[in-house]
């Protein structure tokens, strides 16, 4: 393997690429290689996400490490990295401690994972309740209070760890002799900060490109999306306390036949019904995960009604969520400030169903074939608010080395980065002030071409 970049020397990297690529391959099933442990400051276990048989023992080791460093060295342990490429991070989110175990170069963003797991716990309890129970008793057993919510946190972690699952779905569709999806689009929220010095784009080294969430969105024409938006906003008059509504597409057949996770539900649009209210993409991901986690209940009931706290909107109070299937293809989530609004939300849902029945929500099509460049296997575009992944190969995997390139470039001042892999072909990273572009070429392509 080899790599090159402008404005900087990449000499000496080649020797480490084979080991790094092996670690990436091992971590290609990311959710199987990540452990998440949540514990209280007193060391009591709160939540565990792990495929390990010795997860309880490992959680105890993490607690012991924290207390040893604190009592013996009067310091705080931040992270531990082993020679085999395993990284253990410790994040203090009072009154909780969140520990992650994952492999380096796996594309896992510890900051997003920690913040979203903490936000999910807050969304179940509110920050006010979380703080209050530990103020009353430091050894409070929070695990009991969260009982029954484990699936919701599990789902969120799965969504975060497998945001772009192109390989799995492409391979399964190829086996079923179906045409691959040509494009995946995502609503994102980037924590990366850009500033411009002269003509050069400089990135804050404390953040990186993977410091963002990904919510799959359904591609459709702007005019059609505006028509749907107008229908939902006009129906909101029957429920004046509804502040947000989110419409999702649900492709059940796609899931049943191909068993592809996180791709069967896509966001169509978000409506803000209060001019003073704004919903953050990080909170949208919590709702998206809730819809996925509630799928079995939604298939057996007409609608779902439960409280949810959106930490970036109001971390101390609940909104009340009405979730229902409009048909086999669409799911509507309504968030209201009034806990007595269930009937009004039902009326709004019925009105939306009647009016949407007259609109054919045809998804738009996009293909790399339009570029007439068969050498390009994957094209990944990212801006601050959007991420789009085009693909035209069901044979070649989306290389995990793309994650290495993103992190490598954003921790330096590189504007372009070329990397050749014997197995993954030629990869290109290109950064400008307003977007990043990553391209994976066929193995037969050279940089000169």
Each residue of 54-68: pLDDT tens digit? Answer: 777 888 888 888 888
Structure tokens at 158: 């799965």
Q: What is the pLDDT of residue 167?
A: 43
| Closest listed residue to residue 415, CA positions, set 203, 227, 243, 261 | 203
For residue 320, what are the contacts with CB-CB under 8 A and spacing of at least 6?
A: 305, 306, 307, 308, 335, 336, 337, 338, 339, 341, 342
E strand spans, 50-182: 79-81, 86-93, 96-103
Round to whole Å and give the CA distance between 125 and 140. 14
Round to whole Å and give the CA distance between 301 and 298. 5
Q: Which run of H or of E encompasses 378? A: strand 376-382
Round to whole Å and give the CA distance between 9 and 62. 39
Fold of 35-105+107-147: Beta-Lactamase (3.30.450)
DSSP state of 186: E
Neighbours of 148 (CB within 10 A): 8
In CATH, 218-356 is 3.30.565.10 = no
Q: Which residues does the chain have with pLDDT short of 70?
A: 1-32, 164-182, 190-211, 252-263, 364-372, 393-395, 446-449
| Closest listed residue to residue 34, CA positions, set 45, 47, 49, 20 | 49
CB 400 within 8 A of CB 167: no
What are the domain boundaries of the chain? 2-26+163-212+367-441, 35-105+107-147, 218-356
Structure tokens at 284: 């949208």
Q: What is the pLDDT of residue 366?
A: 66
How far apart are the two ends of the chain, measured CA to CA in Å? 18
pTM for the complete prediction? 0.81
- Which CA distances in Å does 136 have to 64, 141, 142, 315, 406? 24, 12, 12, 20, 45
* 218-356 has the same fold as 35-105+107-147: yes
- In SS3 terms, 380-448 reads as EEECCCEEEEEECCCCCCCCCHHHHHHHHHHCCCCCEEEEEECCCEEEEEEECCCCEEEEEECCCCCCC
Q: What is the pLDDT of residue 318?
A: 97
């Amino acid at each position: 393997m080899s790599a090159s970049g402008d404005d900087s020397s990449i000499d000496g990297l080649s020797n480490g690429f084979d080991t790094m690529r092996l670690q990436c391959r091992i971590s290609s099933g990311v959710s199987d290689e990540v452990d998440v442990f949540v514990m209280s400051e007193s060391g009591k276990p709160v939540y565990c996400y792990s495929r390990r048989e010795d997860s309880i023992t490992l959680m105890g080791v993490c607690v012991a490490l924290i207390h040893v460093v604190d009592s013996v060295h009067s310091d705080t342990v931040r992270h531990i990295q082993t020679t085999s490429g395993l990284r253990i991070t410790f994040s203090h989110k009072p009154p909780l401690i969140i520990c992650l175990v994952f492999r380096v170069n796996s594309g896992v963003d510890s900051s997003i994972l920690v913040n979203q797991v903490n936000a999910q716990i807050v969304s179940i309890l509110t920050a006010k309740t979380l703080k209050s129970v530990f103020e009353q008793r430091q050894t409070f057993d929070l695990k009991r209070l969260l009982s029954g919510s484990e699936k919701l946190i599990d789902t969120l972690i799965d969504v975060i760890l497998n945001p772009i699952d192109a390989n799995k779905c492409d391979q399964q569709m190829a086996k079923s002799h179906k045409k691959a999806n040509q494009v995946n689009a995502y609503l994102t929220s980037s924590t990366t900060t850009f500033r411009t010095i002269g003509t050069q784009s400089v990135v804050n080294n404390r953040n990186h490109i993977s410091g963002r969430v990904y919510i799959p969105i359904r591609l459709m024409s702007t005019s059609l999306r505006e028509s749907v938006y107008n229908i939902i906003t006009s129906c909101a008059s029957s429920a004046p306390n509804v502040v947000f509504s989110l419409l999702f597409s649900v492709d059940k057949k796609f899931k049943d036949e191909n068993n592809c996770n996180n791709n069967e539900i896509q966001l169509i649009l978000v409506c803000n019904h209060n001019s003073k209210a704004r919903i953050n993409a990080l909170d949208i991901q919590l709702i998206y995960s809730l819809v996925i986690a509630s799928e079995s209940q939604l298939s057996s009931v007409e609608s779902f009604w439960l409280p949810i706290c959106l930490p970036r909107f109001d971390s101390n109070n609940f909104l009340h969520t009405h979730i229902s299937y409009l048909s086999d293809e669409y799911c509507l989530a309504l968030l209201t400030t009034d806990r007595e609004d269930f009937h009004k939300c039902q009326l709004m849902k019925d009105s939306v169903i009647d009016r949407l029945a007259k609109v054919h929500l045809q998804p738009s099509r996009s293909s790399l074939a339009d570029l007439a460049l068969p050498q390009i296997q994957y094209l990944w575009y990212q801006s601050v608010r959007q991420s789009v992944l085009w693909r035209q190969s069901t044979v070649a995997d989306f290389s995990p080395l793309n994650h290495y390139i993103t992190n490598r470039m954003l921790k330096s001042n590189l504007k372009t980065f070329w990397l050749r892999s014997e197995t993954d072909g030629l990869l290109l990273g290109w950064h400008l002030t307003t977007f990043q572009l990553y391209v994976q070429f066929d193995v037969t392509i050279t940089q000169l071409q």
